[in-house]
Homo-oligomer: A and B are copies of this chain.
């Protein structure tokens, strides 16, 4: 599971990490865009572009206060990793 930042600059890092995982024989089961706020254009378009580059549809996880993710997103994450 590749967890990436949601904001500006993440396309390059996410793609290169995904590429290296695959090169090393690891098959990524999903990509999480973490800390999503949707404030700027890059945040809103990053998932689409990363999806096109990798063939994986990134799961956007919003920025939350504290350490506990709302159950809605915990469920989506569990689904993504197959639990």
Q: Which A residues lie at the B interface, using CB under 8 A?
A: 13, 16-17, 19-20, 23
Q: How far is the CA of A15 from the CA of B16 in the complex (A)?
A: 10
Copies in the complex: 2
Interface of A, secondary structure class, is: helix
Q: Which residues of chain B are within 8 angstroms of A17 by Cβ–Cβ distance?
A: 16
A-B contact pairs, 5 of them (CB 8 A): A13-B16, A16-B17, A16-B20, A19-B20, A19-B23
Query: Which chain B residues border A19 with CB–CB below 8 Å?
Result: 16, 20, 23
> Which 10 residue pairs spanning A and B have beta carbons closest together?
A16-B16, A16-B20, A19-B20, A16-B17, A13-B13, A23-B23, A19-B23, A13-B16, A20-B20, A16-B19
